[in-house]
Amino acid sequence: RPLRRIMPGSFEGARPEVIEFVKTNINPRTVLDVGPGKGTYADALRPVLSESATIHGLEVFPPYVEMFDLESKYDRVIIGNMLEHETYDYDLVIFGDVMEHVHKHEAVALWEKVKSQAKWAIIACPVIVWEQGAEFGNEHETHLHHYDMEEVISTFGQPVWHKRVVEVASFIFKF
């Protein structure tokens, strides 16, 4: 059984290398963190991005905003569902442990929208069967699809960079 999270957020996995890649190769001016949970990516990116960079968080579960003080970590917190959100016109869109929370056909439709608007995107997700129901009072924490490495690439396309660390993998895409 995989390790359980202590609170909503993504597992570290290859995140330090992802942050270094973002800093070195992307250096985005605008970032959208989809499903920020406790704000892990904002905490990791703030120190390496320019002071003028803006980071927005798109959170489906309003209690997390106060619970994890997201308004202090993001320039703007948007309450909404990623499947219904229309604006992905950012230099970088991050899906840190969220794609497994929607059905595959929903993820594919969302990805088409993201590819047509964003410059870069990151997907980090478990690449094993990882059963998870509602957690922290949040039904959206339920895993609805289980990916493996090959399925991530066949579904979302060839990444410019990817790495697996035990049960989770990170993929970076350029559009």
pLDDT digits (tens, 9 = 90+) for 155-172: 999 999 999 998 889 999
The three-point CA angle 75-97-100 to 5° equals 130
Look at residue 128 in the predicted model and tell me its pLDDT.
Answer: 58
Q: Is the pLDDT of residue 106 over 90?
A: yes
Look at residue 10 in the predicted model and tell me its pLDDT.
Answer: 54
Secondary structure element (H or E) that encloses residue 42, with its range: helix 40-45
- Computed over its alpha carbons, how large is the radius of gyration of the chain? 15
Q: How many CB atoms neighbour CB 83 within 10 A? A: 13
Instruction: Summarize the confidence of residues 137-143 as an average pLDDT.
Output: 67
Q: Is the pLDDT of residue 12 over 70?
A: no
Residue 32 CA to residue 56 CA, distance in Å, equals: 5
Residue 77 CA to residue 38 CA, distance in Å, equals: 12
Residue 42 CA to residue 70 CA, distance in Å, equals: 9
pTM of the model: 0.89
Range with lowest mean pLDDT among 18-27, 53-62, 97-106: 97-106
Strands (DSSP E) contained in the chain are: 30-34, 54-59, 76-79, 92-96, 120-126, 161-165, 168-174
Mean pLDDT, the chain, rounded, equals 89
Q: How many CB atoms neighbour CB 23 within 10 A? A: 14
Which of 167, 33, 37, 137 lies closest to 91, judged by CA? 33
